[in-house]
Amino acid sequence: MKKIYFLCTGNSCRSQMAEGLAKKILPKDWEIRSAGVEVHGLNPRAVKSMAEIGIDISENQSKIIDDNYLQQCDLVVTLCGDARDRCPITPSSVKKLHWPLPDPAQATGTESKIMEQFRSVRNQIESKISELKNFE
């Protein structure tokens, strides 16, 4: 079983969306988790943007990095520079990818404009996860 970990600063938006999308897109024999270097709680707009495409992450919890799981992963994906820079050391056998995506929680403006940012980041994550299907 392949193990993948999506990491972000607070495990509230990008990494949560990545976990939900990966569970839908990637093979069922993959173990998929997300976490943060801090715990910020689940962002309701992330939940809303995922629900729009039929993925329910409303019961997810914001979690801190589990070092034991991290050390066993085949792939670690950081979704922001902070997570990349603060991620604990992993064995050389763990492949790392960095997807420097903007934090939709930092979006400003009308609710419509903010949700556009969440959808844009969600769609970028979905595209990148689709490319992982053939990860070896």
87 labelled catalytic: yes
From 87, 101, 105, 121, the catalytic residue: 87
Residue tagged active-site, from 4, 7, 35, 80 = 80
User: Is residue 13 annotated as part of the catalytic site, yes or no?
Assistant: no
Active site residue 73: no
Of the residues 4, 7, 8, 70, only one is catalytic, namely: 8
Type of residue found at 125: I
Q: Which two tokens stand for residue 58?
A: 């409303």
Instruction: Give, in order, the Cα–Cα distances in Å from 58 to each of 16, 44, 68, 128.
Output: 10, 8, 26, 22
Active-site residue list = 8, 80, 87
